[in-house]
C-alpha cells in the first residue's frame, strides 16, 4: 500500500494477562496489532523470554509490512518502574523484580528502546492522540481490574519521587472497609474496579463471578443488587475523583479502562456525583478515553518515536 510509511516503530504493553503489541507508522497510524498471553504463573524469567519473543515477531512483521526494519521499540510495564534506569523495580503481576527491560530488549533487538510505565504512557497517548487533546492539564484514570491515574501537565505525566505517582486505586474512600491487595482497607479499588464490581455482585447474590460488564447489563435491566453494586462503585469513584480534583485542579478527567465502555451509564451518574462533592468550584469535565485498552501500547509507540526525535524533552506537547 503506497500510503504505508516505511518508517515504523514497534510497541509493547506488558500486562499481567496479556502482552499487547503494535507496529506503528511515524504518523501514529497503527499498522498491525498483536496479542499474546503473559502466563505469569511460569515465573518472571519465562515472562521476559516471552516478551523478547514477541518483540522479535513484531520486528519481523514491521519488516514484512514495509520492507524495512523498525527504527526503534517502545515498551511499557505496570508496577513500580524506574523510567530513567529502564528497569521494572517490582511488578507483582509479572513476577518481576529488578528486571532491566530496556537493556534486555535493546540487546535482543539491536534497536534503540524507549521504556515507560503503562498508565503514564496511556496518559501520553490520550494527551497527544486522544481525549486529552487540547488540554494542558488532565488526569487519565483507567478503571479496569485495578484503578490508576496519570497526572498529565504540559504533555508530560508526573512520575513522583519514587515513580509511583497516581496510585489512585489505593486512596482510602471507605475507612475500615474491605481488605485490599495492598494490605490496606477500603481502598477505591476494593469498591470501584471492574474486579471489585464483579466480586461484590457475586458475594451479594451468591451467583458465580459474572464480570463487571454483566453486572452493568443486569443493573441496566433493573436487577436491584446489580444496580446497588454499580451505584456503590460510582459513589466511590466520585469520592476518589473529588479528592483528585481538589488537589490538582485538572481541566478534565479522562476515564479509560474496561469500565469506560459503559459509556453514559458510568459518566452521567459520575458527573452528577462529582459535582455534588465539588460544590465549592466548577468541577473538571469528565470525558471517556478514546483509545481504551490500546492506550498503553500507543503510548509505548510515542515514547519510541520521541526517542528517535531526540528524547521527550526535545518534543513539545502536541496539544
| Closest separation in Å from C-beta 240 to Zn ion | 12
| Closest separation in Å from C-beta 180 to Zn ion | 3
| Closest separation in Å from C-beta 261 to Zn ion | 24
| Closest separation in Å from C-beta 183 to Zn ion | 7
CA distance 317 to 319: 6
Q: How is the chain classified by DSSP, letter by letter?
A: -TTS-S-EEEEEEE-SSEEEEEEEETTS-EEEEEEEE--GGG-HHHHHHHHHHHHHHHHHHHHHHHSS--SEEEEEE-SEEETTTTEEEEEGGGTEEEE-HHHHHHHHHTS-EEEEEHHHHHHHHHHHHSTTTT-SEEEEEEBSSSB--EEEETTEE---TTS-TT-GGGSBSSTT-SB-TTS-BSBTHHHHSHHHHHHHHHHHH-SPP--HHHHHHHHHTT-HHHHHHHHHHHHHHHHHHHHHHHHH--SEEEEESGGGGGTHHHHHHHHHHHHHHTTTSPPPEEEE-SSGGGHHHHHHHHHHHHHHTT-GGGS----
Cβ nearer to Zn ion, comparing 21 with 79: 79
CA distance 139 to 256: 10
Cβ nearer to Zn ion, comparing 196 with 287: 196
CA distance 256 to 270: 13
| Closest separation in Å from C-beta 233 to Zn ion | 15
Cβ nearer to Zn ion, comparing 100 with 163: 163
Cβ nearer to Zn ion, comparing 187 with 267: 187
| Closest separation in Å from C-beta 168 to Zn ion | 10
| Closest separation in Å from C-beta 275 to Zn ion | 26
| Closest separation in Å from C-beta 172 to Zn ion | 8
Cβ nearer to Zn ion, comparing 8 with 193: 193
Chain residues binding Zn ion by CB under 5 A are: 170, 180, 182, 184, 187
Cβ nearer to Zn ion, comparing 70 with 142: 142
CA distance 298 to 317: 15
Cβ nearer to Zn ion, comparing 109 with 237: 237
Cβ nearer to Zn ion, comparing 126 with 167: 167
CA distance 147 to 237: 10
Amino acid at each position: 500500500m503506497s500510503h504505508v510509511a516505511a518508517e515504523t516503530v514497534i510497541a509493547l504493553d506488558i500486562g499481567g494477562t496479556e502482552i499487547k503489541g503494535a507496529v506503528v507508522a511515524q504518523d501514529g497510524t497503527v499498522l498491525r496489532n498483536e496479542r499474546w498471553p503473559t502466563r505469569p504463573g511460569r515465573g518472571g524469567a519465562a515472562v521476559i523470554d516471552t516478551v523478547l519473543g514477541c518483540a522479535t515477531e513484531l520486528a519481523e512483521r514491521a519488516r514484512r509490512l514495509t520492507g524495512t526494519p523498525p527504527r526503534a521499540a517502545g515498551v511499557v510495564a505496570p508496577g513500580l518502574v524506574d523510567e530513567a534506569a529502564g528497569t521494572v523495580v517490582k511488578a507483582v503481576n509479572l513476577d518481576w523484580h529488578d528486571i532491566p527491560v530496556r537493556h534486555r530488549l535493546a540487546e535482543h533487538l539491536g534497536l534503540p528502546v524507549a521504556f515507560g510505565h503503562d498508565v503514564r504512557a496511556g496518559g501520553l497517548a490520550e494527551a497527544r492522540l486522544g481525549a486529552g487533546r487540547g488540554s494542558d492539564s488532565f488526569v487519565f484514570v483507567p478503571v479496569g481490574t485495578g484503578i490508576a491515574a496519570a497526572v498529565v501537565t504540559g504533555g508530560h505525566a508526573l512520575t513522583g519521587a519514587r515513580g509511583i505517582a497516581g496510585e489512585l486505586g489505593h486512596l482510602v474512600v471507605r475507612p475500615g472497609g474491605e481488605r485490599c491487595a495492598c494490605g490496606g482497607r477500603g481502598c477505591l479499588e476494593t469498591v470501584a474496579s471492574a474486579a471489585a464490581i464483579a466480586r461484590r455482585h457475586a458475594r451479594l447474590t451468591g451467583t458465580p463471578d459474572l464480570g463487571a460488564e454483566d453486572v452493568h447489563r443486569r443493573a441496566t435491566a433493573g436487577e436491584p443488587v446489580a444496580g446497588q453494586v454499580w451505584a456503590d462503585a460510582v459513589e466511590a469513584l466520585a469520592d476518589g475523583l473529588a479528592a483528585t480534583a481538589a488537589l490538582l485542579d485538572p481541566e478534565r478527567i479522562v476515564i479509560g479502562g474496561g469500565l469506560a465502555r459503559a459509556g453514559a451509564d458510568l459518566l452521567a451518574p459520575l458527573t452528577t456525583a462529582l459535582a455534588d462533592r465539588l460544590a465549592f468550584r466548577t468541577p473538571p469535565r469528565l470525558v471517556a478515553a478514546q483509545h481504551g485498552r490500546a492506550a498503553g501500547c500507543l503510548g509505548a509507540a510515542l515514547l519510541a518515536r520521541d526517542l528517535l526525535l531526540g528524547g521527550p524533552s526535545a518534543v513539545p506537547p502536541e496539544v
